[in-house]
Amino acid sequence: MAQPETTRGRSEAAVVALAPVVLLAAFALHPWIGAGPPDQSALAEAVVDNPTRWGIAHLATGMSSGLLALAFLAIRARLRAAGPEPWSARGVPLVVMGSALYTLLPGLEFAPLAAAEAGVDVEPVAEALVVWFVPIHVIGALLFGAGVLAFRKGIASSGILSGRTSQLVVGALAVMVVARLVPLVVVQFYVQGVAGVVALCPLAFAMWNAPVQSLVTEQRPAPAT
Q: Supply the pLDDT for residue 9.
A: 81
Q: Supply the pLDDT for residue 191.
A: 97
Q: Supply the pLDDT for residue 70.
A: 97
Domain edges within the chain: 4-30+37-215
Output the 3-class SS for 15-82.
Answer: HHHHHHHHHHHHHHHCCCCCCCCCCHHHHHHHHHHCHHHHHHHHHHHHHHHHHHHHHHHHHHHHHHHH
Q: Supply the pLDDT for residue 210.
A: 77
Average pLDDT by stretches of 10, the chain with 225 residues: 71 95 97 92 95 97 97 94 90 97 96 95 95 96 97 92 92 97 95 97 91 46 43
